[in-house]
Amino acid sequence: MSLKIFFMGTPDFAVPILKTLYQSSHKIMGVYTQPPKKKNRGQKTSLSSIHKYSEENNIPVRFPETLNTQTELEHFRKEKPDIVVVVAYGKILPTEILNLENIIFINIHASLLPKWRGAAPIQRAIMNCDKETGISIMKIVPKLDAGPIYIQSKIKISKETNYEELSNQMSNLGAKLTLEVLDLIENNKANLTFQNENEATYAKKIDKTESKIDWNFDAKTIIAKINALYPNPGCWFYLKGSRVKIIKAVEVKLKGNPGEIINDKFAIGCSLNAIQILELKKEGKNKMAASEFLRGNKLEPGNNINNV
């Protein structure tokens, strides 16, 4: 027996999960995603990753500005899905929709709830130097990411792990676990575990102002932020009036004042230890190895990077 599913999601992270469901025995009746946005100087309309995948596979797509309308409520009533699967959709589901009878609403969340509820759980876990994270699949309730949990699975985070790598791992894990949960629900074997509210933490949305590097932090914290914000928005500093985005760097045990250029290999001092830049991208240029960049940009050890 297959379940009738509404899928609600928006970014790249949600695509492998939708793809897995689409290729399963279950029936995707329709998809909800964020409305198209105008981007860049040409103001070209840009579809979400989920919108593109749905159109390519002839899956009906809806992209309302709000779900708080009688039209959307009636659409749910008319189509009568068995399950609504939500993955980084970006909108809160109205209580009127959540209260519809005979529909189960589940959310695939990229953290080990109740830790890192909210908008940026993957980035915040890396920035916090967490040793592990994971996927939680929960029943949706009106309070943000607070519903009881069907299933969880852990993933290790190393000091080299960046957002792009971790997001891909978690998305693929989420796809696998979603099928497992649907099988449990279908066979009336699903058990729910309530979250401990006292352990809840929140992953607020990433603000672009966070991406500028402050050399007064220790090297470990700066490396974690570089990894957490790769590839977008990326961590950067000013050099000779231009932004330089750090793609990859490592912590080195060298001493120097915060922002001080310590050697000719692009090691920069932090409040504790230093970071060695390995790969970077100058504004308007392609990314390159630090060694290649230094061949055309001589930096004098002892100078502060903010004054070059």
pLDDT per residue as tens digits for the range 99-128: 999 999 999 999 999 999 999 999 999 999
Where does the pLDDT of residue 45 fall: very low under 50, low under 70, confident under 90, or very high at 90 and above?
A: confident
Q: What is the DSSP string of 41-91?
A: TTTEEE--HHHHHHHHTT--EE--S-S-SHHHHHHHHHH--SEEEEES--S
Total of domains in the chain: 2
Query: Do 215 and 189 fall within a single domain?
Result: no
Q: What is the DSSP letter of 124?
A: H
pLDDT-derived band at 44, boundaries 50, 70, 90: confident
**Is residue 34 domain-shared with residue 120, that is, in the same domain?**
yes
Judgement on whether residues 96 and 149 belong to the same structural domain of the protein: yes
Q: Pseudo-torsion of CA 14, 156, 122, 91, nearest 10°?
A: 40
Q: Do 118 and 216 belong to one domain?
A: no
**Each residue of 67-87: pLDDT tens digit?**
999 999 999 999 999 999 999
Same domain, 184 and 300: no
pLDDT, residue 95, reads 96
Least confident of 35-39, 195-199, 283-287: 35-39
Q: Are 108 and 86 contacting, i.e. CB atoms less than 8 angstroms apart? A: yes
- Is 41's pLDDT higher than 80? no
DSSP 199: G
CA quadruple 101, 50, 9, 25: dihedral positive or negative? positive
Mean pLDDT of 6-15: 98
Which residues partner with 260 through β-bridges?
304
The residue segments making up the domain with residue 212 are: 208-307
Taking the C-alpha atoms of residue 123 and residue 291, their distance in angstroms, rounded to an integer, is 28
b vs e for 280-295, b when ≥16 Cβ sit within 10 Å of the residue's Cβ?
bbbeeeeebebeebbe
